Amino acid sequence: MTESPTQVSAGESGTAPRPLALPELSLVALVGVTGSGKSTFASRHFAPTEVLSSDTFRGLVSDDDNDQSATKDAFEALYFVAGRRLTRRRLTVVDATNVQPRDRQRLVELARAHDVLPVAIVLDVPERVCVARNQARPDRTFESHVVHRQHAQLRKSLKHLTREGFRRVHVLRGLAEIDAATVVRERLFTDLRHEPGPFDAIGDVHGCRSELESLLGMLGYVLTHDAQGQVVGAHHPEGRRAIFLGDLVDRGPDSPGVLRLAMGMVANGDAFVVPGNHENKLMRALRGSKVQISHGLAETLDQLDKEPPEFRSHVQEFIEGLVSHLVLDEGKLVVAHAGLKEAYHNRSSRRVREFAMYGDTTGETDEFGLPVRYPWANDYRGAAIVLYGHVPTPAPEWVNNTMCLDTGCVFGGRLTALRYPERELVSVPAEQVWYEPVKPFLTPDPSAAGDSAHPEQSHGSVTDAPRREPDVLDITDVLGRRVIETTHHGRVSIREENAAGALEVMSRFALDPRWLLYLPPTMAPCATSTRAELLEHPDEAFAAYRSDGVTQVICETKHMGSRAILLVCKDERVARERFGADDGRTGAIYTRTGRSFFDSDLTEQILARVREAAEAAGLWSELTTGWLLLDAELLPWSAKAEDLLRHQYAAVGAAARTALPAAVAALEQSAAAGVDVGELLDRTRSRVGNAEAYTQAYRRYCWPTDGLSGVSVAPFQLLATDGATYADRDHQWHLALADRLAQADPELIRTTPHQVVDVSDPASVESGVRWWESLTAAGGEGMVVKPLANLTRSRRGLVQPGIKVRGREYLRIIYGPDYTEPANLTRLRDRNLGRKRSLALREYALGLEALDRAARGEPLWRVHECVFGVLALESEPVDPRL
């Protein structure tokens, strides 16, 4: 409403210092004939990189600043650079004559395309001075008629500059004025980043003064009254300030009262107001423009008629002074009546203002004649919180870091505020239905969506709440090279080709991303053992933690199953409300790559059992949550990997058990015939034994299951619940919690045997080693050693969350049946663990980030970004045996 164009020209004073005000983000066109001193002026007032001079660009493209044949190319390059600067919010000065309307038009369009204000500074210097200056410059060959012609064009241009679209025009007449000028950069009207809050953002009031007073009271504001007893302000004793999200007026019983209160609060610094479409229309009506009197405007005008005329003009002035949107608290909060997409934040143009007041409309209408609106919030990916109103919605919900606070008070809904930064909702119910909606309020109707782009065209569709699908993920959320900022491990990069591979797996096999709050990280094994017979031994794991300064570690049995993540909702309602499940699912059980382990029937059976166990163990109330995310192992491995076991592991065994005895027989026959077959026979006999041992090793992972029977789950860590993560709880806490689940349902849930080791105490270490030996002697998979305290940092950064130490027999199914042959083992010791360790930490950090984001209730794409990142990192080529 503000920012009407101004043309400032020199007063009589002439030579007095003259501050030229510029919005700090603007595109400045210097206008002046050749020789008028534009470059000198620019270098005096702007940084060299801010000034794009046509001469410089001629030089850049042609090696000759004066080559007029290069003009077209030079300007193309100049516009390109200017565009990139404006995208990056850099003030940009175009130093060219700009005396022709065509050239200036191009700059105005460029400014509009980037939603910045175009500004013109005119240097009006007498023609003879310019001619003389040109003649003094040996590099200039202009004839004086060129200067003359440009001068004429400039004179003609002067009166049109504002009409051409320049929002500010400064005309400097004569050398003295030019010399005296100074440039003052002004904050954008929208830029209130220095205002830190706290704030209370209030949705559409629509003349509901009484409810507003109640709400302000609930929020802790103290109302002030004037002599007539009218409420004229409200102040919060703790200095909180209200933000009115627009549409203060129309439809309701007391629009003037609401305006009086809001205007008083603004005047006293107790509130900010952004304009709504209804204010905009009211302003035009007050100005006397012809507007269609509908949508409750009639009531407002009637009510205002009862007020003194000076109140009306005060209102008009107030609305005219409103700024389309505000950016607050270091850019972390943006408020606008109808919301605002990120590209428009803290920018200024007609389309920014229209978006802020009317939403993302295109001017098209659908088959009902209603304006077409795009659900900008679904696509919103900005870091700033955006609060808005405009479209009445039954209950405010976060959609990608945005929230609509219009809860239809005037239609009998509620008046709602959001406390910032606390993110708490406070609301009061409507005292009555003040304005009958055309369609019943609180009935979602996907075909219509809110107010119209053109107020004259609205047909009462304001009563329709839009269908919300904030779980829409965009391909740009995951594809291409990405960098994810993590709390615990800095920036984690995802390579483009890995994202491409992960996209296929995620799309073809993974569950609905709404369930996938987390994927587990890979885990590095211990450094290679120096013992002759072994690749891995606990000594190396203990030593690793010792060198990281971790003393207390916990050794947990490595279950012979598959890693599984269990998301268990307390009931269908939680599944529906928190995870958007509308098909009766109450959670998910998924693999390391996000695939469901079982069909939905069996999944639900297991979920039901875990849910009951959690109930019996009292976890729901103890953790005050509606859902649990558990890190677990699911057994047997064959339940998931039967095909792999059969077609790969068993196949190798079958081939080995057939071929090797035949080879031994042939060799024995040959040896019996007196041929010297050397060590080949012994070696082959030994391999027969290896093949048997290998077969035994994989068989331990297989047992038949039938539905639930035979399946067991070993949870070992609680990852997250509603609003909380648990990476900082020590592992004994986690295992104790798991034990309580196991106690409640010992048939399905098994415990994780464990032992705490003090790595600085040789006796304790010895006992840990013996424990591992006993686990693996029987063919067990081994153990995982973790810092007892869980999430741990050392001087070097994040410490590995776990190090696996696998058993000798188990490793046959990793390194091949014959890996224990000395000739093989010697070579296998040379394993490169660096990449695996680095990968493990990056994935761990991404996993924690996903959990934190999910627990904070961040938008799905923010969680999915991390989860997808884990999957993409997993496709990095790293020795899979590690």
Alpha helices in 759-811 (DSSP H): 762-777
Shortest Cβ distance from residue 622 to another protein (Å)? 31
693 touches another protein by CB under 8 A = no
Quote the tokens at residue 548: 């990281």
Shortest Cβ distance from residue 384 to another protein (Å)? 22
* Pairing mode of beta strands 754-758, 552-557: antiparallel
Q: Select from 199, 257, 247, 182 the least CA-distant residue to 223.
A: 257
Nearer to another protein, 128 or 647 (CB): 647
**Footprint of another protein on 129-188 (CB under 8 A):** none
Q: Which stretch binds another protein (CB under 8 A): 88-96, 144-152, 274-282, 656-664?
A: 656-664
Q: Which of 423, 646, 770, 793 binds another protein (CB under 8 A)?
A: 646
Give CB contacts under 8 A, 24+ apart, made by 430-434. 430/208, 430/211, 431/208, 431/210, 431/211, 434/206, 434/207, 434/208, 434/251, 434/252, 434/253, 434/409, 434/410
**Footprint of another protein on 472-511 (CB under 8 A):** 472-481, 496-498, 500-509, 511
Q: Which stretch binds another protein (CB under 8 A): 341-349, 468-476, 622-630, 843-851?
A: 468-476
Q: Which of 440, 678, 723, 746 binds another protein (CB under 8 A)?
A: 678
Nearer to another protein, 351 or 827 (CB): 827
Question: Using an 8 Å Cβ cutoff, are 493 and 483 in contact?
Answer: yes
Shortest Cβ distance from residue 107 to another protein (Å)? 23
**Footprint of another protein on 399-428 (CB under 8 A):** none
- Which neighbouring-strand residues pair with 424? 419
> Alpha-carbon distance 430 to 436, whole Å?
13
Shortest Cβ distance from residue 322 to another protein (Å)? 28
> Alpha-carbon distance 373 to 355, whole Å?
11
- Which neighbouring-strand residues pair with 485? 491
879 touches another protein by CB under 8 A = yes
DSSP secondary structure letters along 733-746? HHHHHHHHHHHH-T
Nearer to another protein, 256 or 636 (CB): 636
Nearer to another protein, 223 or 680 (CB): 680
> Alpha-carbon distance 569 to 194, whole Å?
42
317 touches another protein by CB under 8 A = no
**Footprint of another protein on 353-382 (CB under 8 A):** 364-367, 372-375, 378-379
Q: Which of 176, 180, 543, 680 binds another protein (CB under 8 A)?
A: 680
> Alpha-carbon distance 470 to 480, whole Å?
22
Nearer to another protein, 175 or 677 (CB): 677
Q: Which stretch binds another protein (CB under 8 A): 52-60, 197-205, 282-290, 647-655?
A: 647-655
**Footprint of another protein on 424-463 (CB under 8 A):** 446-449
Question: Using an 8 Å Cβ cutoff, are 805 and 537 in contact?
Answer: yes
- Residues, the chain, total? 882
Q: Which of 153, 670, 794, 838 binds another protein (CB under 8 A)?
A: 670
What are the DSSP E strand ranges found in 60-186?
Answer: 92-95, 117-124, 168-173, 181-186
Quote the tokens at residue 527: 């450094």
647 touches another protein by CB under 8 A = yes
Nearer to another protein, 100 or 593 (CB): 593
In the block, which residue shows the tokens 């007026």?
Answer: 249
Nearer to another protein, 243 or 878 (CB): 878
Nearer to another protein, 737 or 846 (CB): 846
**Footprint of another protein on 754-813 (CB under 8 A):** 813
Q: Which of 6, 487, 648, 760 binds another protein (CB under 8 A)?
A: 648
Quote the tokens at residue 108: 């105005």
Shortest Cβ distance from residue 466 to another protein (Å)? 5
591 touches another protein by CB under 8 A = yes
Helix (H) or strand (E) holding 576: helix 572-579
Shortest Cβ distance from residue 361 to another protein (Å)? 11
Nearer to another protein, 251 or 687 (CB): 687
Interaction pattern, residues 605-644, with another protein; x per rule: CB under 8 A: --------------------------------x--xx-xx
> Alpha-carbon distance 505 to 502, whole Å?
5
User: In this structure, how many other beta carbons lie within 10 angstroms of the beta carbon of residue 312?
Assistant: 15
User: In this structure, how many other beta carbons lie within 10 angstroms of the beta carbon of residue 322?
Assistant: 24
How does DSSP classify residue 830? -
Q: Which of 662, 760, 797, 857 binds another protein (CB under 8 A)?
A: 662
Interaction pattern, residues 817-846, with another protein; x per rule: CB under 8 A: xx-----x--xx------------------
Shortest Cβ distance from residue 699 to another protein (Å)? 6
Shortest Cβ distance from residue 368 to another protein (Å)? 8
**Footprint of another protein on 694-713 (CB under 8 A):** 695, 699, 702, 704
688 touches another protein by CB under 8 A = no
Q: Which of 87, 432, 443, 669 binds another protein (CB under 8 A)?
A: 669
For 645, counting Cβ atoms within 10 Å of its Cβ (0-12 exposed, 13-18 middle, 19+ buried), the class is buried
Q: Which of 226, 317, 469, 622 binds another protein (CB under 8 A)?
A: 469
Q: Which stretch binds another protein (CB under 8 A): 407-415, 663-671, 759-767, 799-807?
A: 663-671
User: In this structure, how many other beta carbons lie within 10 angstroms of the beta carbon of residue 136?
Assistant: 9
Shortest Cβ distance from residue 56 to another protein (Å)? 27
21 touches another protein by CB under 8 A = no
> Alpha-carbon distance 529 to 383, whole Å?
47
* Pairing mode of beta strands 371-373, 26-31: unpaired
Nearer to another protein, 547 or 703 (CB): 703
Size of interface with another protein, in residues (CB under 8 A): 107
Shortest Cβ distance from residue 874 to another protein (Å)? 6
Shortest Cβ distance from residue 182 to another protein (Å)? 40
Residues near 862 by beta carbon (within 8 Å), at least 6 away in sequence: 401, 853
Question: Using an 8 Å Cβ cutoff, are 498 and 478 in contact?
Answer: no
Query: Number of C-alpha atoms within 13 angstroms, CB side, residue 810?
Result: 26
Helix (H) or strand (E) holding 611: helix 600-616
**Footprint of another protein on 551-580 (CB under 8 A):** 562
Q: Which of 135, 658, 743, 760 binds another protein (CB under 8 A)?
A: 658
Shortest Cβ distance from residue 650 to another protein (Å)? 4
Give CB contacts under 8 A, 24+ apart, made by 180-184. 180/15, 180/16, 180/17, 180/18, 181/17, 181/18, 181/19, 181/20, 181/41, 181/45, 182/17, 182/18, 182/19, 182/20, 182/45, 183/19, 183/20, 183/22, 183/45, 183/46, 184/19, 184/20, 184/21, 184/22
Shortest Cβ distance from residue 367 to another protein (Å)? 4
> Alpha-carbon distance 821 to 726, whole Å?
44
656 touches another protein by CB under 8 A = yes
Q: Is 720 helix (H, G, I), strand (E, B) or coil?
A: strand
659 touches another protein by CB under 8 A = yes
**Footprint of another protein on 844-873 (CB under 8 A):** 871
Shortest Cβ distance from residue 358 to another protein (Å)? 15
**Footprint of another protein on 26-65 (CB under 8 A):** none
Q: Which stretch binds another protein (CB under 8 A): 6-14, 286-294, 662-670, 719-727?
A: 662-670
